[in-house]
Amino acid sequence: MRTLADIAVPVNLPKTFHYSIPPELAGDLVVGSRVIVPFGSRRVSATVTGFPEKAGTAKLKSIISIAGPPLSPDLMKLAAWMADYYLHPIGMAIETMVPRAVEEVRPKRVRMLRMLDGDHDMDAIRGPKQTALFLLMSERLTVPFSELGKFAPSTIKALCSAGMLEIFEKDEEPAAENQSFTPDAQPELMPEQAAAVSTIGEAVARGAFETFLLHGVTGSGKTEVYLRCIGALAGTGKGAIVLVPEIALTPQLLNRFRKRFGSRIAMLHSGMTDRERADEYRRIREGSVDVAIGARSAVFAPFPDLGLLVVDEEHENSYKQDEGLRYHGRDVAVMRAKLRNAVCVLGSATPSLESSYNARSGKYRYLRIEKRVDHRPMPTVEILDMKTSPKASLFSPKLAAEVQARLDRKEQALLLLNRRGFSSVLICGDCGRSLPCPSCSVSLTFHKNVRKLKCHYCDHQAEPPETCPNCGGADLKPLGAGTQKIEEEVAKAFSSSRIERMDSDSIRGRHAYDELLGRVDRCEVDILLGTQMIAKGHDFPAVTLVGVVDADVGLNLPDFRSSEKTFQLITQAAGRAGRGDTAGEVIIQTLNPNHYALRHSRTHDYDGFYDEEIRFREELGYPPFGRMIKIEVKAARENLALDAAMTGRDRIRRLLKGKETILLGPAPSPIAKVRGKFRFQMLLLSKRRDLIHSLAIEARKTVEEKFGKKVQVLVDVDPVNLM
């Protein structure tokens, strides 16, 4: 009989802990069992990772109880891989996979009444009420108490005492979806779609691991390919996971899947209540669901058997977790598929350079769809040089005229500016200073609609001052433009139009996305403006014009991916135009009309952009030609943060000794102070993953041993955010 268990506890320590197993639990524990254990003065949920022969210490604490159903073997293998790859404690990696609500929120219990088997003495029934209850139970056998309101407790008790009925409790079933959906007829596939469905379907049928990169232009029907491939799993008992990059995309996509697959769909995202998340998790685990759709964390959906994982818009940065376990949902999806012998499909109109490189080098299978559904033309794209445009307006005369033309024709227009707020900063006309955030090394953004200055990094808010805090001058004026300023200008220029703004300031509440997208879809909105949220995956047939108000936002950031991100954003935004029967047009306003990211977006030329960008990456040894790890050191004092970063650097330098690794830094992070903490960062680049992993571990260990809790060391493997 097993007496010892190796337990992964969710604490920031790179090890597991031994506990004794109480005899009454010995037969119930397996690798993956979720248990409650004492840890220090607390009781915590933890996970069994093994059963050692010998204890690591003489005095062992004992497991208290079982917390819930065990994690499947493939999820345990995935947790071990994530802990190793992302240099994160395995206990905390597992906690990232298991929503806390699943174990903390217990299902509601409902009282039920049921008919007992056997021959019942009809003479024991007294009066019309008992007779009516007996007849009801004879017909239905089991009835919830909520439907027995017309029967007095004494009536129910009498038939229970007579041995005819019994009261019991059971878990309440999740509420059924109220909205009804018309069954969706499958559209006829285009030849390229049909070829993709056939190729992916064959791989799914083989039941062997394979990763596909589905590169389809915007409007080419990639979602229909997903639907057909998932439909092929019907009757096999295997489930499918579909990841989307934003919660904003979930309602639209969910509606399409429900119309095809009915109620056997689960949704997982951060906007759900704990009760909703726990209910969906249980439905998936119990096999009541065929498809789980959600944002990044849905990759951990606990299907008993998994056949297909789809990562829609695989290039999106939001798949990368920025705190805690810094995993990338796309890469974890590929690894989970590998561990389950499942198929993974990465879909995008603008694939990440890493995925394109993997496809071109044979690691992934490459599928391409170059034509839009029904042979609809790609939108025409015009680049306007704003250096020659009047400075009085954010809109060139050309863009303003094209918006008006859409309004006249009862069509819709989208306007993109990837910067929220009214203006970037309030500037003093006397001394030229902006108003800084007290906790971060950024200027406060002016939000005119609420008359607030806000920091978009630490959420600090302040009232706009009457005079400049630096010189006392009264000439404070907004500089730069955000979505609120665009909204104000649009309202003045097109006063009779129906305007909506979509950004993280305007979209509040759990159903706000769905409601706004519904109004746009019903053509109750003439002009939709906003940040990158409007550029991602939406399908609005009446949109015939997309205007990119300022294409230079983000183009010159100190990030080696800035050109790639700009190309992707503009190409995706352009793809919202002309998805219906009317051809689309895109107007891009910029001060850098000859930048290669813009030149290639004008002609929808992904390959041309890839060829230019990949040469730059290869020259510098950046991904995909080398692995990268970011080491960030944070402290409340700038000199302390720098001293700690230099200590880490010195340790790495001593270990390098001519090995094929590049160390960049330490240098202040592009945003050097956030939430009162000064930040310095280093980048490790190498073709050898094992080498830079060991260097990062040694650097972190050295800094933590010397400085303790006075500094924080963050290790980010395959970083996406370098700001």
> Region 55-63: what's the mean pLDDT?
86
Q: What is the per-residue pLDDT for 178?
A: 45
Q: What is the per-residue pLDDT for 476?
A: 85
- Same-domain check for residues 516 and 567: yes
Q: What is the per-residue pLDDT for 179?
A: 47
Total number of domains in the chain: 5
Gap between the Cα atoms of 461 and 160, Å rounded: 63
Calculate the average pLDDT of the chain.
90
- Same-domain check for residues 369 and 381: no
> Region 620-641: what's the mean pLDDT?
96
Quote the DSSP letter at residue 185: P
pTM, to two decimals: 0.87
Q: For 158-211, write each residue's pLDDT tens digit.
A: 999 999 999 998 877 665 454 454 556 788 999 999 999 999 999 999 999 999
CA quadruple 449, 454, 458, 462: dihedral sign: negative
- Same-domain check for residues 126 and 267: no
CATH of the domain at 368: 3.40.50.300
- Same-domain check for residues 30 and 90: yes
- Same-domain check for residues 225 and 147: no
**Maximum distance among all Cα pairs of the chain, rounded to whole angstroms:** 99
- In the listed set 616, 644, 666, which residue is the last one of a domain according to the structure? 616
**What is the strand order of the sheet 109-115 is part of?**
142-144, 109-115, 165-171
> Region 714-721: what's the mean pLDDT?
96
CATH of the domain at 690: 3.30.70.360
In-domain check, residue 460:
no
| 50: Cβ contacts below 8 Å, ≥ 6 apart | 5, 6, 16, 31
- Same-domain check for residues 197 and 339: yes
- Same-domain check for residues 207 and 323: yes
CA distances to 446, 452, 465, 468, 479 from 476, rounded to whole Å, are 11, 14, 9, 7, 10
Report helix angle 127-140 to 153-161, nearest 10.
70
pLDDT at 704 over 50: yes
- Same-domain check for residues 133 and 236: no
Q: Which two tokens stand for residue 101?
A: 């609500």
- Among 53-67, 344-358, 664-678, the range scoring the smallest mean pLDDT is 53-67
> Region 497-521: what's the mean pLDDT?
80
- In the listed set 171, 200, 217, which residue is the last one of a domain according to the structure? 171
- Same-domain check for residues 149 and 9: no
In-domain check, residue 282:
yes
> Region 41-51: what's the mean pLDDT?
95
Of the two residues 208 and 554, the one the predictor is more confident about is 208
In-domain check, residue 389:
yes
- Same-domain check for residues 512 and 582: yes
Quote the DSSP letter at residue 443: B
Is the backbone of residue 472 left (phi > 0), alpha (psi -120 to 50) or beta? left
Gap between the Cα atoms of 32 and 14, Å rounded: 18
In-domain check, residue 432:
no
> Region 198-226: what's the mean pLDDT?
95
In-domain check, residue 186:
no
Q: Count CB neighbours of 544 within 10 A.
A: 25
Of the two residues 122 and 505, the one the predictor is more confident about is 122
In-domain check, residue 311:
yes
Of the two residues 247 and 189, the one the predictor is more confident about is 189
Q: For 445-495, write each residue's pLDDT tens digit.
A: 888 777 888 887 888 898 888 888 888 888 887 777 788 888 889 999 999
- Same-domain check for residues 578 and 528: yes
Model confidence band, residue 423 (pLDDT cutoffs 50, 70, 90): low
pLDDT at 442 over 70: yes
| 507: Cβ contacts below 8 Å, ≥ 6 apart | 248, 513, 516, 533
Gap between the Cα atoms of 547 and 162, Å rounded: 76
In-domain check, residue 274:
yes
Q: For 255-304, write each residue's pLDDT tens digit.
A: 888 888 888 899 887 777 888 888 888 889 988 899 999 999 999 999 99
In-domain check, residue 723:
no
What is the Cα 21 distance to its own chain's centre? 38
Domain that holds residue 710: 627-717
Q: Give SS3 for 236.
A: coil
- Same-domain check for residues 679 and 707: yes
Gap between the Cα atoms of 260 and 38, Å rounded: 47
